[in-house]
Structure 1
Amino acid sequence: MSSSRATLIEVAKLAGTSKTSVSRFFGPERDKLSSVLQSRIEQAAQSLGYQPNLMARGLKGGGSRLLGMLVADIRNPFSVAIVHGVELAARAHGYSLIVCNTDNDPEQEQKHLASLAAYQVEGLIINAAGQPEPQLQALMKGGIPLALLDREVRQLDAKVIGLDNVLAIDMALDHLVQQGYRSVLYVSETPEHASARLERLKRFNQQAEALGLDSQTLVLSSLAEHSAIPILKAFAEHPTTVPKAVLCANGNATLAMVRSFQHLGLAMGPLGLIGIDELDWCELVLPGITTLAQPTDVIGHAAIACLLNQFPQRARELPVQYRHPPTLITRGSTTFPG
């Protein structure tokens, strides 16, 4: 067996097509080929072990077929799920994804943006840690399309793809009211620099007042999760005749509160618990935690569609939905024994 790399011409010969068609398949004009021809070229390339030099292609102006993605916190369950959705969508359109984690550090974010530009990425999906408006403006002026994920960047003319935060809060509070809860503790991570958290907090305050609920807010510090315990204890023990519940703004807040419930020996249900974001373990913690699940794969596909629609060579525009509804998954943690 020859050790030399397969060539584009060899792929074209095996697929029974032209070199131009193969080049299109591995370039930005794949959509111009029929699905049958795409399948033949893909099978021929796999059979020969052909791998295009994407970096060289990008340097020659032919398109690197690389997309970049900045994630504010890769440890966040939402981030893990959304990266999966974005990668699936990128792959379906013939692109590879480079993911950079900023650890919510604006300085690291700027370094990653510079690196991704150097890699000749054809587009960027940004889950912002800070407000990198100058850097993103410069990239857009340089011809790199971008889409924002979950968080807006002030003064930047770019679409934000993500959850319908107003609807999520409304659904959560409507569910709690229907279950008989009338006093709610809202738990969120620090909302600054995260527009989705700000939107949810603002809507909670508005809707709690509109529904006539007793309400409190707890902002968690990532460095002092245990500080939630005395606040939850005071909330649970405060004398009142109305049932109480805790509403968690995201998966990290839900995890912190479950730990606090367990530390204090509080039963879920008599003290309600509902969280935005469905986590794998939510159904395993008895009596099961009620959640509002984000359609992360759908959001990921929408982010890629939004990005690709900005490419000048697109043959047709892909449909895009910017705000996505959650799905309520009801479990025992919001069943009040009345």
Structure 2
Amino acid sequence: MKAITISDVAKQANVSKSTVSQYLNKRYDYMSEKTKERIRQAIEELGYQPNIVARSLKQKSTSTIGVIVANILHAFSTQVIRAIEDICNEQGFHIIVCNADDEPEKEKNYIEMLIAKQVDGLIIFPTGGNIDLYKSLMKRKYPLVFFDRVVEEIPASTIMLNNEKAIKMAVDHLVDKGYEQIGIMTTSISRHVTPRIERINGYKKALQENNLDFNEEYISTLDLHHIQQGLKEMLSLECPPQAIIAGNDLTLMEILKFTKENKVSIPEDLAIIGIDDVSFASFFTPQLTTIAQPTFDMGKRAAELLLNKIKDPEYQEKTTVYRFEPELVIRNSC
């Protein structure tokens, strides 16, 4: 079957090739409605599909960005991806999403694959394990935005929650409710993942500011499949915590599984507050008090920032790290 070309469309619509090209690139400010309709009908009747590869080579742009998330199972990740996609769609860009599973080697492979596919820029939730590769991207002035994690050696634009404030809000709320023995659980900090480190540090500061004693046994940072066992051990202490802060959504789900299986009543036996306003928080029984991240605003800012860099290689930023403010969502779990 003969491939339909832009020349075939132009002939069918009785216009020039350049007019069809302008239509395809949505540059039809001075094009009459009749002309646009003829071109649209010609494209539909002929079944014409633009050659994206050829157009990309001509324009030196694929109108595509890559998004590499650390763990796509986090509700936070999927909410951010949705916001990025919305902004990119508005500006005529597509996204390719990759899941690194917090593995540096997997992240490296995805970065190299996306660059080979000539994506115009990258938004990365960095593992922190590919410093030389990040440096190479920065040296080439490749459009790059980091998300949710700071890599100290790399001065890349970075979108972050104010993590210490988020934990302070959680601790302050629990103290206001009369709790004094407050624990925190999160996934492993062995790879020095920024939000987890900042939330632990914020927890210690918030206890001090509220004149509460610090108990090392009330802090648990474990691989996800050990969270339930860690909670069991914490609640078996001679003086167990009265309340637990879940450092992220996956930790929260493991805590809730444990409380259900072991008939731990919330908040009578154990008060709970989670970082990340998970979708089920408002209809879980009891409804879960959470600290919400402004995921849409964060994702929107990341996309806008990257697109600015793509469209203007000389784009100048006012800052490197963009911090967003958390919100306390009060319900019934504490």
TM-score w.r.t. the length of structure 1 is 0.82
Matches within 5 A, 1:105-116: 105-116=103-114
Instruction: Identify the residue that residue 297 of structure 1 maps to in structure 2.
Output: 296
Give the 3 Å change call, closer, same or farther, for CA 41–136 of structure 1 in structure 2: farther
Q: Deviations over 1:142-175 (max 9, x none)?
A: 3420000001223111121131212211211121
User: Residue type of the partner of 2:328?
Assistant: L
Instruction: Identify the residue that residue 284 of structure 1 maps to in structure 2.
Output: 283
Q: Deviations over 1:117-139 (max 9, x none)?
A: 00000010000123322112222
Show structure 1 runs of 5+ residues with no match. none
Give the 3 Å change call, closer, same or farther, for CA 21–9 of structure 1 in structure 2: farther
| Cα offset, 1:62, TM superposition | 2.6
Task: State the alpha-carbon separation in 1 of the partners of residues 290 and 188 from structure 2.
Answer: 20
Q: Deviations over 1:35-89 (max 9, x none)?
A: x99xx97997697466543333333453100101111111222212211121112
Instruction: Identify the residue that residue 189 of structure 1 maps to in structure 2.
Output: 187
| Cα offset, 1:3, TM superposition | 8.3
Instruction: Identify the residue that residue 239 of structure 2 maps to in structure 1.
Output: 238
Instruction: Identify the residue that residue 322 of structure 2 maps to in structure 1.
Output: 322
Deviates further, 322-331 or 56-65? 56-65
CA contact (8 A) 1:164 1:326 kept: yes
Instruction: Identify the residue that residue 223 of structure 2 maps to in structure 1.
Output: 221
Task: State the alpha-carbon separation in 2 of the partners of residues 164 and 275 from structure 1.
Answer: 15
| Cα offset, 1:6, TM superposition | 6.6
**2:205 maps to 1:203:** no
Instruction: Identify the residue that residue 168 of structure 1 maps to in structure 2.
Output: 166
CA contact (8 A) 1:22 1:41 kept: yes
Q: Secondary structure of 1:332's match?
A: coil
Q: Secondary structure of 1:310's match?
A: helix
Give the 3 Å change call, closer, same or farther, for CA 42–279 of structure 1 in structure 2: farther
Instruction: Identify the residue that residue 308 of structure 1 maps to in structure 2.
Output: 307
Task: State the alpha-carbon separation in 1 of the partners of residues 159 and 38 from structure 2.
Answer: 34
Task: State the alpha-carbon separation in 1 of the partners of residues 280 and 207 from structure 2.
Answer: 28
Percent identity over paired residues = 29
Of the candidates 114, 126, 129, which is equivalent to residue 127 of structure 2? 129
**2:250 maps to 1:252:** yes
TM-score w.r.t. the length of structure 2 is 0.83
User: Residue type of the partner of 2:297?
Assistant: V
Q: Deviations over 1:238-284 (max 9, x none)?
A: 27xxx821111110111111112223321112221000011122223
| Cα offset, 1:193, TM superposition | 3.3
User: Residue type of the partner of 1:296?
Assistant: T
Give the 3 Å change call, closer, same or farther, for CA 133–58 of structure 1 in structure 2: farther
Q: Secondary structure of 1:309's match?
A: helix
CA contact (8 A) 2:165 2:202 kept: no
CA contact (8 A) 2:66 2:122 kept: yes
| Cα offset, 1:205, TM superposition | 1.0
Show structure 2 runs of 5+ residues with no match. none
Task: State the alpha-carbon separation in 2 of the partners of residues 43 and 325 from structure 1.
Answer: 50
Task: State the alpha-carbon separation in 2 of the partners of residues 109 and 94 from structure 1.
Answer: 26
Structure with greater Cα Rg? 2
Task: State the alpha-carbon separation in 2 of the partners of residues 210 and 188 from structure 1.
Answer: 22
CA RMSD between the two structures: 3.6
Task: State the alpha-carbon separation in 1 of the partners of residues 256 and 7 from structure 2.
Answer: 56
